[in-house]
C-alpha cells in the first residue's frame, strides 16, 4: 500500500518558516553558550596556577573545553539545518 503524499501549500511554508525562526533562535543561544563557555575555559585555564590546581579543578577545566567544542559542533549542525530550511522555503517562493 502506498503512502499518501502531501502537497506543499501555504501551511507547509508557514510551518517551515516557523521552524526556521525557532531554529535560528536556538542556534544563537547555542553560539552564545559556546562563546561564554570558551571565555570561562580560557580564564580557568590561564588564571589557575598548575601547581595548586586539584585534580577535580583540572578535570573541570578540561570539561569546559570539551563542552565548548560540543556546543560549537552543535551550532554548526544547526546552521546547516537552517540553510536547508531556507532552501526549502525558497523553492516554494515565486
CA atoms within a 13 Å half-sphere pointing along the CA-CB vector of 42: 6
Residue listed under C-alpha cell 556546543: 71
Quickly state the pLDDT bin for 14 (edges 50, 70, 90): confident
pLDDT, tens only, 35-47: 999 888 888 877 7
Residue listed under C-alpha cell 577535580: 56
**For 34-69, b where at least 16 C-beta lie within 10 A, e where not — what string?**
beebbebbeebeeeeeeeeeeeeeeeebeebbebbe
DSSP 44: H
Quickly state the pLDDT bin for 83 (edges 50, 70, 90): very high
Amino acid at each position: 500500500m502506498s503512502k499518501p503524499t502531501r502537497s506543499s501549500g501555504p501551511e507547509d511554508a508557514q510551518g517551515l518558516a516557523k521552524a526556521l525562526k525557532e531554529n535560528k533562535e536556538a542556534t544563537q543561544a547555542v553560539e552564545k553558550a559556546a562563546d561564554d563557555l570558551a571565555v570561562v575555559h580560557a580564564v580557568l585555564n590561564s588564571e589557575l596556577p598548575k601547581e595548586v590546581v586539584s585534580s577535580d579543578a583540572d578535570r573541570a577545566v578540561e570539561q569546559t573545553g570539551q563542552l565548548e567544542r560540543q556546543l560549537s559542533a552543535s551550532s554548526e549542525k544547526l546552521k546547516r539545518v537552517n540553510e536547508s530550511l531556507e532552501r526549502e522555503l525558497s523553492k516554494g517562493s515565486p
